[in-house]
Copies of this chain bind each other. A is one copy, B any other.
Protein backbone atom coordinates (compact mmCIF):
# COMPACT_ATOMS: atom_id res chain seq x y z
CA UNK A 1 0.00 0.00 0.00
CA UNK A 2 1.41 3.34 -1.07
CA UNK A 3 -0.62 6.06 0.55
CA UNK A 4 -1.03 9.73 1.22
CA UNK A 5 -3.67 9.47 3.95
CA UNK A 6 -3.72 6.10 5.67
CA UNK A 7 -6.78 3.91 5.01
CA UNK A 8 -9.20 3.40 7.87
CA UNK A 9 -8.74 0.10 9.69
CA UNK A 10 -12.03 -1.32 8.44
CA UNK A 11 -14.02 -1.03 5.25
CA UNK A 12 -16.90 1.43 5.48
CA UNK A 13 -20.04 1.94 3.40
CA UNK A 14 -18.47 5.09 1.97
CA UNK A 15 -15.77 2.96 0.33
CA UNK A 16 -18.52 1.85 -2.04
CA UNK A 17 -19.92 5.32 -2.72
CA UNK A 18 -18.20 6.08 -6.00
CA UNK A 19 -16.71 9.18 -4.34
CA UNK A 20 -13.28 10.03 -2.97
CA UNK A 21 -13.22 7.19 -0.46
CA UNK A 22 -13.84 4.67 -3.24
CA UNK A 23 -11.01 6.25 -5.17
CA UNK A 24 -8.77 6.03 -2.09
CA UNK A 25 -9.53 2.32 -1.69
CA UNK A 26 -8.84 1.72 -5.37
CA UNK A 27 -5.65 3.75 -5.50
CA UNK A 28 -4.17 2.52 -2.25
CA UNK A 29 -5.09 -1.15 -2.40
CA UNK A 30 -6.26 -2.22 -5.83
CA UNK A 31 -4.41 -0.21 -8.50
CA UNK A 32 -1.13 -0.25 -6.59
CA UNK A 33 -1.30 -4.04 -6.26
CA UNK A 34 -2.44 -5.01 -9.75
CA UNK A 35 -0.59 -2.32 -11.72
CA UNK A 36 -0.81 -2.99 -15.44
CA UNK A 37 -1.43 -0.95 -18.58
CA UNK A 38 -5.02 -2.17 -18.91
CA UNK A 39 -6.06 -1.03 -15.45
CA UNK A 40 -4.29 2.25 -16.16
CA UNK A 41 -6.66 2.93 -19.05
CA UNK A 42 -8.96 3.98 -16.17
CA UNK A 43 -11.97 3.31 -18.36
CA UNK A 44 -15.21 1.88 -17.04
CA UNK A 45 -13.72 -1.37 -18.33
CA UNK A 46 -10.63 -2.44 -20.23
CA UNK A 47 -9.68 -3.07 -23.82
CA UNK A 48 -7.48 -6.15 -24.06
CA UNK A 49 -5.55 -7.56 -27.02
CA UNK A 50 -7.25 -10.91 -27.32
CA UNK A 51 -7.82 -12.59 -30.66
CA UNK A 52 -11.19 -14.20 -31.15
CA UNK A 53 -12.98 -16.46 -30.60
CA UNK A 54 -13.15 -15.84 -26.87
CA UNK A 55 -13.63 -18.28 -24.00
CA UNK A 56 -15.49 -16.71 -21.07
CA UNK A 57 -16.38 -18.10 -17.64
CA UNK A 58 -17.71 -16.51 -14.46
CA UNK A 59 -17.99 -17.56 -10.82
CA UNK A 60 -18.97 -15.88 -7.58
CA UNK A 61 -17.18 -17.01 -4.43
CA UNK A 62 -18.97 -16.98 -1.08
CA UNK A 63 -16.81 -19.43 0.86
CA UNK A 64 -17.03 -19.33 4.64
CA UNK A 65 -14.67 -18.97 6.46
CA UNK A 66 -12.83 -16.61 4.10
CA UNK A 67 -9.43 -17.78 5.40
CA UNK A 68 -8.79 -21.51 5.59
CA UNK A 69 -5.93 -24.00 5.62
CA UNK A 70 -4.32 -23.90 2.20
CA UNK A 71 -5.76 -20.64 0.94
CA UNK A 72 -8.38 -17.94 1.21
CA UNK A 73 -11.29 -16.62 -0.81
CA UNK A 74 -8.80 -14.63 -2.92
CA UNK A 75 -6.80 -17.44 -4.52
CA UNK A 76 -9.96 -19.55 -4.64
CA UNK A 77 -11.60 -16.83 -6.77
CA UNK A 78 -8.69 -16.65 -9.21
CA UNK A 79 -8.02 -20.39 -9.44
CA UNK A 80 -11.71 -21.25 -9.73
CA UNK A 81 -12.27 -19.08 -12.77
CA UNK A 82 -8.88 -19.80 -14.35
CA UNK A 83 -9.71 -23.50 -14.08
CA UNK A 84 -13.19 -23.08 -15.55
CA UNK A 85 -11.73 -21.35 -18.60
CA UNK A 86 -9.15 -24.14 -18.89
CA UNK A 87 -11.89 -26.81 -18.62
CA UNK A 88 -13.50 -25.28 -21.75
CA UNK A 89 -10.20 -25.75 -23.56
CA UNK A 90 -9.38 -22.08 -23.16
CA UNK A 91 -6.10 -20.43 -22.25
CA UNK A 92 -7.10 -17.90 -19.59
CA UNK A 93 -5.48 -14.49 -19.98
CA UNK A 94 -7.55 -11.73 -18.41
CA UNK A 95 -9.68 -11.57 -15.27
CA UNK A 96 -12.30 -9.12 -14.01
CA UNK A 97 -12.71 -8.79 -10.27
CA UNK A 98 -15.90 -7.75 -8.46
CA UNK A 99 -15.95 -7.34 -4.68
CA UNK A 100 -19.05 -7.20 -2.50
CA UNK A 101 -17.73 -6.26 0.92
CA UNK A 102 -19.67 -6.21 4.17
CA UNK A 103 -19.14 -2.97 6.03
CA UNK A 104 -16.70 -3.51 8.89
CA UNK A 105 -14.38 -5.98 7.17
CA UNK A 106 -10.89 -5.43 8.54
CA UNK A 107 -8.86 -3.51 5.99
CA UNK A 108 -5.91 -5.76 6.82
CA UNK A 109 -7.97 -8.83 5.88
CA UNK A 110 -8.95 -7.14 2.64
CA UNK A 111 -5.32 -6.33 1.87
CA UNK A 112 -4.32 -9.92 2.63
CA UNK A 113 -6.97 -11.20 0.22
CA UNK A 114 -5.90 -8.74 -2.48
CA UNK A 115 -2.27 -9.82 -2.07
CA UNK A 116 -3.30 -13.47 -2.36
CA UNK A 117 -5.23 -12.62 -5.53
CA UNK A 118 -2.11 -10.99 -6.93
CA UNK A 119 0.04 -14.04 -6.19
CA UNK A 120 -2.55 -16.45 -7.59
CA UNK A 121 -2.97 -14.36 -10.76
CA UNK A 122 0.79 -14.32 -11.23
CA UNK A 123 1.07 -18.06 -10.81
CA UNK A 124 -1.75 -18.63 -13.29
CA UNK A 125 -0.30 -16.07 -15.70
CA UNK A 126 -3.45 -13.94 -15.89
CA UNK A 127 -3.91 -10.18 -15.55
CA UNK A 128 -6.58 -8.42 -13.51
CA UNK A 129 -7.81 -5.86 -16.05
CA UNK A 130 -11.00 -4.40 -14.64
CA UNK A 131 -13.06 -4.55 -11.48
CA UNK A 132 -15.76 -3.20 -9.25
CA UNK A 133 -16.21 -2.73 -5.52
CA UNK A 134 -19.50 -2.53 -3.66
CA UNK A 135 -20.00 -2.26 0.08
CA UNK A 136 -23.18 -3.42 1.86
CA UNK A 137 -24.32 -2.69 5.39
CA UNK A 138 -23.22 -4.87 8.27
CA UNK A 139 -25.55 -7.89 8.41
CA UNK A 140 -26.43 -7.70 4.71
CA UNK A 141 -23.45 -9.70 3.47
CA UNK A 142 -20.81 -11.93 5.03
CA UNK A 143 -17.36 -10.30 5.14
CA UNK A 144 -16.62 -10.52 1.43
CA UNK A 145 -17.97 -12.11 -1.74
CA UNK A 146 -15.86 -12.10 -4.89
CA UNK A 147 -16.91 -12.51 -8.49
CA UNK A 148 -14.28 -13.26 -11.09
CA UNK A 149 -14.87 -13.53 -14.81
CA UNK A 150 -12.08 -14.91 -16.96
CA UNK A 151 -11.52 -14.59 -20.66
CA UNK A 152 -8.99 -16.21 -22.94
CA UNK A 153 -8.49 -17.82 -26.32
CA UNK A 154 -9.29 -21.43 -27.15
CA UNK A 155 -6.20 -23.62 -27.11
CA UNK A 156 -5.45 -24.24 -30.81
CA UNK A 157 -5.47 -28.02 -30.37
CA UNK A 158 -8.47 -28.23 -28.02
CA UNK A 159 -11.53 -30.07 -29.22
CA UNK A 160 -13.46 -30.53 -26.05
CA UNK A 161 -17.12 -31.35 -26.09
CA UNK A 162 -19.61 -33.67 -24.44
CA UNK A 163 -20.47 -35.23 -27.81
CA UNK A 164 -16.90 -36.44 -28.30
CA UNK A 165 -17.25 -38.99 -25.49
CA UNK A 166 -17.25 -42.63 -26.67
CA UNK A 167 -17.68 -45.98 -24.91
CA UNK A 168 -14.24 -47.17 -23.85
CA UNK A 169 -12.92 -43.66 -23.17
CA UNK A 170 -10.87 -43.54 -19.98
CA UNK A 171 -11.52 -41.30 -16.99
CA UNK A 172 -8.48 -39.72 -15.36
CA UNK A 173 -8.33 -37.52 -12.29
CA UNK A 174 -5.38 -35.19 -11.79
CA UNK A 175 -4.96 -35.62 -8.02
CA UNK A 176 -6.41 -36.79 -4.69
CA UNK A 177 -10.06 -35.99 -4.09
CA UNK A 178 -12.11 -34.21 -1.41
CA UNK A 179 -9.31 -32.08 0.08
CA UNK A 180 -10.93 -28.65 -0.35
CA UNK A 181 -14.30 -29.56 1.11
CA UNK A 182 -12.80 -31.37 4.08
CA UNK A 183 -10.37 -28.50 4.77
CA UNK A 184 -13.28 -26.05 4.96
CA UNK A 185 -15.48 -28.39 6.93
CA UNK A 186 -12.88 -29.45 9.48
CA UNK A 187 -12.09 -25.78 10.06
CA UNK A 188 -15.79 -24.98 10.58
CA UNK A 189 -16.23 -27.93 12.93
CA UNK A 190 -12.97 -27.32 14.78
CA UNK A 191 -11.71 -30.81 14.00
CA UNK A 192 -8.04 -31.59 14.62
CA UNK A 193 -6.09 -34.22 12.72
CA UNK A 194 -2.50 -35.39 12.97
CA UNK A 195 -1.64 -33.35 9.92
CA UNK A 196 -3.75 -30.40 8.88
CA UNK A 197 -6.12 -30.95 5.96
CA UNK A 198 -5.37 -28.23 3.43
CA UNK A 199 -7.49 -27.03 0.55
CA UNK A 200 -6.11 -28.14 -2.82
CA UNK A 201 -6.95 -24.77 -4.45
CA UNK A 202 -4.53 -24.21 -7.30
CA UNK A 203 -4.50 -23.22 -10.96
CA UNK A 204 -4.67 -26.06 -13.45
CA UNK A 205 -4.32 -24.11 -16.68
CA UNK A 206 -0.63 -24.82 -17.23
CA UNK A 207 -1.10 -28.58 -16.85
CA UNK A 208 -4.15 -28.50 -19.13
CA UNK A 209 -2.21 -26.52 -21.76
CA UNK A 210 0.64 -29.03 -21.65
CA UNK A 211 -1.79 -31.91 -22.17
CA UNK A 212 -3.53 -30.16 -25.06
CA UNK A 213 -0.16 -29.24 -26.64
CA UNK A 214 0.81 -32.88 -26.66
CA UNK A 215 -2.45 -34.81 -26.99
CA UNK A 216 -4.83 -32.34 -28.67
CA UNK A 217 -8.15 -33.90 -29.60
CA UNK A 218 -7.36 -37.13 -27.76
CA UNK A 219 -8.64 -35.17 -24.76
CA UNK A 220 -12.42 -35.40 -25.19
CA UNK A 221 -13.75 -33.62 -22.10
CA UNK A 222 -12.39 -31.75 -19.08
CA UNK A 223 -14.32 -30.94 -15.90
CA UNK A 224 -13.25 -29.72 -12.49
CA UNK A 225 -15.22 -31.44 -9.73
CA UNK A 226 -15.89 -28.43 -7.48
CA UNK A 227 -19.29 -28.13 -5.75
CA UNK A 228 -20.91 -31.56 -5.75
CA UNK A 229 -17.58 -33.34 -6.20
CA UNK A 230 -16.65 -36.21 -8.49
CA UNK A 231 -20.14 -37.71 -8.29
CA UNK A 232 -21.76 -34.59 -9.76
CA UNK A 233 -19.29 -34.37 -12.63
CA UNK A 234 -19.78 -38.07 -13.41
CA UNK A 235 -23.58 -37.77 -13.14
CA UNK A 236 -23.60 -34.83 -15.54
CA UNK A 237 -21.39 -36.69 -17.99
CA UNK A 238 -23.60 -39.78 -17.80
CA UNK A 239 -26.76 -37.77 -18.20
CA UNK A 240 -25.57 -35.45 -20.98
CA UNK A 241 -23.75 -38.13 -22.99
CA UNK A 242 -26.40 -40.82 -22.48
CA UNK A 243 -23.57 -43.23 -21.69
CA UNK A 244 -22.54 -44.86 -18.43
CA UNK A 245 -19.61 -43.96 -16.19
CA UNK A 246 -17.78 -46.72 -14.35
CA UNK A 247 -15.73 -45.68 -11.32
CA UNK A 248 -13.26 -47.98 -9.55
CA UNK A 249 -13.26 -47.30 -5.82
CA UNK A 250 -9.77 -48.67 -5.22
CA UNK A 251 -8.33 -46.42 -7.90
CA UNK A 252 -9.59 -43.14 -6.41
CA UNK A 253 -6.67 -41.16 -4.97
CA UNK A 254 -7.61 -40.07 -1.46
CA UNK A 255 -5.36 -38.87 1.36
CA UNK A 256 -5.70 -40.97 4.53
CA UNK A 257 -6.50 -38.02 6.78
CA UNK A 258 -9.13 -36.78 4.29
CA UNK A 259 -10.61 -40.28 4.25
CA UNK A 260 -10.61 -40.32 8.06
CA UNK A 261 -12.31 -36.91 8.24
CA UNK A 262 -14.96 -38.02 5.76
CA UNK A 263 -15.61 -41.14 7.79
CA UNK A 264 -15.79 -39.19 11.03
CA UNK A 265 -18.40 -36.85 9.56
CA UNK A 266 -20.26 -39.50 7.62
CA UNK A 267 -19.49 -37.94 4.24
CA UNK A 268 -18.81 -39.77 1.02
CA UNK A 269 -15.65 -38.23 -0.52
CA UNK A 270 -17.21 -38.65 -3.98
CA UNK A 271 -19.58 -35.78 -3.13
CA UNK A 272 -17.05 -33.47 -1.50
CA UNK A 273 -15.81 -30.34 -3.31
CA UNK A 274 -12.38 -30.03 -4.90
CA UNK A 275 -10.64 -26.87 -6.09
CA UNK A 276 -7.33 -28.11 -7.48
CA UNK A 277 -8.02 -31.22 -9.54
CA UNK A 278 -9.79 -32.03 -12.76
CA UNK A 279 -11.34 -35.01 -14.49
CA UNK A 280 -10.35 -35.79 -18.06
CA UNK A 281 -12.22 -38.14 -20.37
CA UNK A 282 -9.63 -39.27 -22.89
CA UNK A 283 -9.14 -41.62 -25.82
CA UNK A 284 -8.53 -45.15 -24.52
CA UNK A 285 -5.35 -45.75 -26.50
CA UNK A 286 -3.75 -42.45 -25.45
CA UNK A 287 -4.81 -42.77 -21.80
CA UNK A 288 -1.60 -44.36 -20.41
CA UNK A 289 0.57 -41.68 -22.03
CA UNK A 290 -1.73 -38.88 -20.89
CA UNK A 291 -1.65 -40.26 -17.35
CA UNK A 292 2.14 -40.45 -17.47
CA UNK A 293 2.32 -36.84 -18.71
CA UNK A 294 0.00 -35.70 -15.89
CA UNK A 295 2.11 -37.49 -13.30
CA UNK A 296 5.27 -35.78 -14.54
CA UNK A 297 3.72 -32.33 -13.93
CA UNK A 298 3.87 -30.65 -10.50
CA UNK A 299 0.07 -30.19 -10.50
CA UNK A 300 -0.64 -33.81 -11.45
CA UNK A 301 1.88 -35.89 -9.50
CA UNK A 302 -0.81 -38.06 -7.97
CA UNK A 303 -3.02 -38.40 -11.03
CA UNK A 304 -4.86 -41.68 -11.49
CA UNK A 305 -6.97 -43.61 -13.92
CA UNK A 306 -10.24 -43.98 -12.02
CA UNK A 307 -12.77 -45.30 -14.47
CA UNK A 308 -14.15 -45.47 -17.97
CA UNK A 309 -17.13 -44.79 -20.18
CA UNK A 310 -19.48 -47.72 -20.74
CA UNK A 311 -22.45 -48.20 -23.01
CA UNK A 312 -24.16 -50.78 -20.75
CA UNK A 313 -25.86 -48.42 -18.29
CA UNK A 314 -26.70 -45.19 -20.14
CA UNK A 315 -27.19 -42.15 -17.90
CA UNK A 316 -25.87 -43.94 -14.81
CA UNK A 317 -22.72 -43.84 -12.70
CA UNK A 318 -21.64 -47.21 -11.30
CA UNK A 319 -18.92 -47.76 -8.72
CA UNK A 320 -16.99 -51.02 -8.53
CA UNK A 321 -16.22 -51.38 -4.85
CA UNK A 322 -13.03 -52.57 -3.19
CA UNK A 323 -14.55 -55.99 -2.51
CA UNK A 324 -15.74 -56.54 -6.07
CA UNK A 325 -19.42 -55.60 -5.86
CA UNK A 326 -20.86 -52.60 -7.58
CA UNK A 327 -23.38 -49.89 -6.72
CA UNK A 328 -25.13 -47.04 -8.46
CA UNK A 329 -23.73 -43.61 -7.52
CA UNK A 330 -26.72 -41.30 -7.24
CA UNK A 331 -26.28 -37.62 -7.97
CA UNK A 332 -26.18 -35.20 -5.06
CA UNK A 333 -29.68 -33.81 -4.66
CA UNK A 334 -29.56 -31.14 -2.01
CA UNK A 335 -26.83 -29.35 -0.09
CA UNK A 336 -24.03 -31.27 1.53
CA UNK A 337 -21.70 -28.42 2.45
CA UNK A 338 -23.09 -24.93 1.94
CA UNK A 339 -20.72 -22.12 0.95
CA UNK A 340 -17.81 -24.37 0.14
CA UNK A 341 -16.60 -22.04 -2.63
- The chain A residues found within 8 Å of chain B, CB to CB, are 12-14, 16-23, 41-62, 64, 83-85, 87-90, 94, 96-100, 129-132, 134-137, 139-142, 145, 147, 149-151, 154, 160-162, 223-224, 226-229, 232, 236, 240, 273, 331-336, 338-339
CB closest residue in chain B, given A271: B19
> B100 touching A145 by the CB < 8 A rule?
yes
On chain B, the residues within 8 Å of A141 by CB distance are: 140-142, 145
On chain B, the residues within 8 Å of A226 by CB distance are: 18
> B57 touching A53 by the CB < 8 A rule?
no
Q: How far is the CA of A161 from the CA of B46 in the complex (A)?
A: 11
> B52 touching A227 by the CB < 8 A rule?
no
Query: Which of the residues B56, B58, B136, B139 comes within 8 Å of A147, measured between beta carbons?
Result: B58
Q: How far is the CA of A42 from the CA of B20 in the complex (A)?
A: 42
A–B complex contacts, Cβ < 8 Å, 21 sampled? A12-B335, A16-B339, A17-B227, A19-B227, A19-B331, A19-B332, A19-B333, A42-B162, A46-B55, A47-B56, A47-B154, A49-B52, A52-B52, A54-B94, A56-B149, A57-B96, A132-B147, A134-B339, A137-B338, A141-B142, A145-B145
On chain B, the residues within 8 Å of A147 by CB distance are: 58, 60, 98, 132, 147, 149
Main SS at interface, chain A: mixed
Distance (whole angstroms) from the CB of A290 to the closest CB of chain B: 20
Q: How far is the CA of A23 from the CA of B93 in the complex (A)?
A: 29
> A54 touching B62 by the CB < 8 A rule?
no
Distance (whole angstroms) from the CB of A113 to the closest CB of chain B: 16
Which of A16, A43, A160: most chain B Cβ within 10 A? A43
CB closest residue in chain B, given A81: B45
Given A12-B334, A17-B334, A19-B331; 9 other pairs, CB 8 A cutoff: A14-B335, A20-B334, A22-B228, A43-B57, A46-B57, A47-B154, A56-B96, A62-B136, A136-B145
